[in-house]
Every structure is written in structure tokens, then in C-alpha cells.
Chain A
């Protein structure tokens, strides 16, 4: 994707964070050196061409951006957030970039735009095979623990917090009689 936008001054970086599913082969990070070692393995495994930036051992950047395993943000000058998603979906990121770049282009051409706030309900395609392969690569324990987590979710455990995510914040008191 970075090649697609190379001539439009779009930057693309990857921030390497904690191992979401530690296993016997790739476990948790116990030292920063280990984190660098795994980040290097990640870069080589996926032939990553984007700059790879490694977060510190306590996850300072990861925590500050929401601590989810595969988020995407698009930042503008001054680190202004112009897009954020709790999971990475390449077609959605591309659609957002095309939208943002088209507005910038039309503004340069003299069109007048007023800023406004919008949200969208995302839907991402789930590449289950690739995800399962990743779990297996980290080690058998990563596979087992995720299967067990799926069983807990299927039983309805821990869903309260998930559902709260979809609920509107507490409304202002109703002042009508």
C-alpha cells in the first residue's frame, strides 16, 4: 500500500508491540533485547518494507493508543488523529486514505470544505487461516489458549465489557415532565 501512495507524501510505519498470544516458540517479552529480537523476526518473516518502530518494554505507546493488538491510526501534521480503527483492515484504510487525499487535492484546487465529525461502523474480512497460522507459529500453547478463550466467549463470559463498548454513554437526565 505504501507504493500506491508513494507520490502523495503518505508515510506508513509499523509499531511493534507485545506478543498478543505468547507461545513456546515466540513467548512474552522479558527484556527489551528479546523484543528487538522478535521484532526483527517479524520484519523478516513478513518482508516488511515500512519503517518498523519498536515500543518500549512497558508498552508506553501501545497503552497510549488503546492497547489493542492490531489497531490502525492515520495521523496528520502535529500528530492530529484523522482516522482510527480498533483493528487493521487494509481496504478500510485505503478507503480512508483515498477520502482524505481527495479532499486535500480538491482544496488545493480551490474547493471549499467545512470540517465535520463522522463515525462509521466498520466490517473487516477475517482471514482465519492466516490468524491460525500466526498462533501456531508462536507455539502450541498460543493455539490452545485462544481455543479456550473462544469457548469462554461462546459461553457468554466476559461479554459485559464488550457490550458496553456498543452502548451509548449515559444520557443527560431527562428533563421532560
Chain B
């Protein structure tokens, strides 16, 4: 998951849901950092997308949240949570 691209081109941005998941679980950066063995500042860098984690760190984060890696990290932007929760089929408009 290293973000260093080859050939001098910019690497693709790695999108993640870390901030949402952290807020959902009610933990702060320090607690998450301690749980996965990194410095709290690095959690900030990860959440802002300024740093792409190694596979090992991504797996540790996935293990901590008990989710598959692709539920946390993606090369394409994640759809907005509201769009996922309130699609026409779930609101009953199509039923």
C-alpha cells in the first residue's frame, strides 16, 4: 500500500474510513495508535490520506476494527454514508 509511485507520476490517493470508524467506536487517536503500535500523529496522517500504510499496518487496523481491509481502505472514494443508508430501496420508495 506504499504510496510511492513509479516513474515519477503521482501515486493514486488511498481513501479510508478511519476517522468515521474511530468516531463510531468512540476512541481517540492516541487509543487507536496504541492499539496498533504507531504514534498518534501517524493516525492523523492516515486519516487525512497524507500517508498510505504498509500492508501489515492496514491488516492491523482491519483487525482492530474487525473489518476486512477493503472496508477501510479503497483506491476509489467511498460513497457517502447517507447515500448508502438512505437509498430509495431502503426508504421504501420502490416497495
Q: Indicate, yes or no, whether A interacts with B.
A: no
Give me the interface of B with A, judged by CB distance under 8 Å: none
* Interface of A toward B, CB cutoff 8 Å: none
